[in-house]
Chain A
Amino acid sequence: MTDPSDESGLVRAMQRGDADAIERLWIAYAPRLVAYARTVLAQSSDQSFAEDVVQQVFVSLVRLPARNSRAIRSAEAWLITATRRAALNAARGERRERRRRHALDITRPGPSSSHEQLRELIERLPSEQAEVISLRHAFGMTFADIARLIGSSKSTVAQRHAEALKRLRRWLADADQRPTNLTSPLEHHRV
């Protein structure tokens, strides 16, 4: 995690059009934000759609009035919150269409690495569990922070996390036995 005071400076530099600041913030956060956006977007997600969402978030950060951007204490917290909001909005409109296309996409390539495989498994979790997992492991947020972000209680968040781990453990054991199952598009649905 970047130093928050450094982040504020980076945000201001980015708003001034400093290419170096843009690149630093982008490399530091965009990959994880895209992974997080995919979990929020759930079944409607694909990499490019999630990337679009994160790009919009960065652009909106630049367009923030100076008064609001000065109030940003942590760019990371702001980006996560904005990504969540943008992904939820985008998912409402796109989910149905994407689900239909996803089901027809029989040529969709399977995961190429164990990390990618695990991320795909996370995307199959119920969205509230997937979100907790990605926030916890992509950004190292505490249960209290996650609870504050999604407007839930800390115990609920902890429970969702535990349930998600239980499911993932079971699926990973299944995947080790039947690895081809993961690539079947017919299995790309929420449990």
Chain B
Amino acid sequence: MSDRPPTDAELMSRLDAAFDPSGLPVPDAAPVQDAIASQLLRVRLGVAAVVALTVLLLLGLVWGIAASATPRPEEPERLEPIEEPLTEPRTSPGDPQPASLGSLMHGRSIPSLTARPPTPARHLARAADREPSGLTASD
């Protein structure tokens, strides 16, 4: 052994050798690989979830388009509202006239609603005039 300090060149050479990768211990890569694997798994799960959601959305879209393109069953035809006024005649000049109320009654007169029925006193008085009683003056 010598107590002579190494020269700059010697020292530099020794320093380069001390940090040479081939002489350095290689640390264990397993924790890194595990961390990377779990990270990638998370990423892939995320991607799978996004893809699944996208597919669902697309399916929904396709279903919506298909449903709108399908013809619907015929709806009953709506009646148009009558626009003609009810006061206008609905018959043409050649049409037969509607029967009058009188013809419908076959010539019978319609009793007046205001005629009063004969009272019993008057009725009895008329009967007395027509039929003489059995009692005479000679009786």
Q: Are A17 and B37 closer than 8 Å at their CB atoms?
A: yes
Q: Which residues of A contact B12 (CB under 8 A)?
A: 137, 165
B91 an interface residue at 8 Å Cβ cutoff? no
Q: Are A31 and B29 closer than 8 Å at their CB atoms?
A: no
Q: How many A-B residue pairs have CB under 8 A?
A: 97
Given contact pairs A28-B21, A115-B17, A169 touches B35 in the complex (Cβ within 8 A): no
Q: Which residues of B contact A138 (CB under 8 A)?
A: 19
A interface, over-half SS: helix
Q: Which residue of A lies closest to B35 (CB)?
A: A59
A51 an interface residue at 8 Å Cβ cutoff? yes
Chain A CB within 10 A, most for which of B3, B4, B16, B32: B32
Q: Which residue of B lies closest to A140 (CB)?
A: B16
Q: Which residues of A contact B19 (CB under 8 A)?
A: 32, 35, 119, 134, 137-138
Given contact pairs A22-B32, A59-B39, A35 touches B24 in the complex (Cβ within 8 A): yes
Q: Are B29 and A172 closer than 8 Å at their CB atoms?
A: no
Q: Which residues of B contact A19 (CB under 8 A)?
A: 33
Q: Are B35 and A31 closer than 8 Å at their CB atoms?
A: no
Shortest CB-to-CB span from B44 to chain A, Å, is: 9
Q: Are B23 and A115 closer than 8 Å at their CB atoms?
A: yes
Q: Are B8 and A62 closer than 8 Å at their CB atoms?
A: no
Q: Are A51 and B28 closer than 8 Å at their CB atoms?
A: yes
Given contact pairs A55-B32, A119-B18, A134-B19, A30 touches B5 in the complex (Cβ within 8 A): no
Contacting B29 at CB < 8 Å: which of A22, A114, A168?
A: A22
Given contact pairs A30-B27, A31-B26, A165-B8, A59 touches B32 in the complex (Cβ within 8 A): yes
Q: Are B33 and A22 closer than 8 Å at their CB atoms?
A: yes
B interface, over-half SS: helix
Contacting B15 at CB < 8 Å: which of A22, A47, A133?
A: A133
Complex Cα–Cα for A115 and B15 (A):
8
Q: Which residues of A contact B25 (CB under 8 A)?
A: 31, 34, 47
Q: Which residue of B lies closest to A165 (CB)?
A: B11
With A32-B19, A59-B39, A119-B18 known, 18 other A-B pairs at CB within 8 A are A27-B26, A30-B26, A30-B27, A34-B25, A47-B25, A47-B27, A54-B27, A58-B32, A115-B18, A116-B18, A118-B15, A118-B18, A119-B19, A134-B19, A137-B18, A137-B19, A172-B11, A173-B4
**10 contacting pairs across A/B (C-beta < 8 A):** A22-B32, A23-B29, A30-B26, A34-B27, A51-B27, A114-B14, A118-B15, A137-B18, A165-B8, A170-B5
Residues of A within 8 A of B (CB): 14, 16-17, 19, 22-23, 26-28, 30-32, 34-35, 47, 51, 54-55, 58-59, 62-63, 113-116, 118-119, 122, 133-134, 136-138, 165, 168-170, 172-173, 176-177
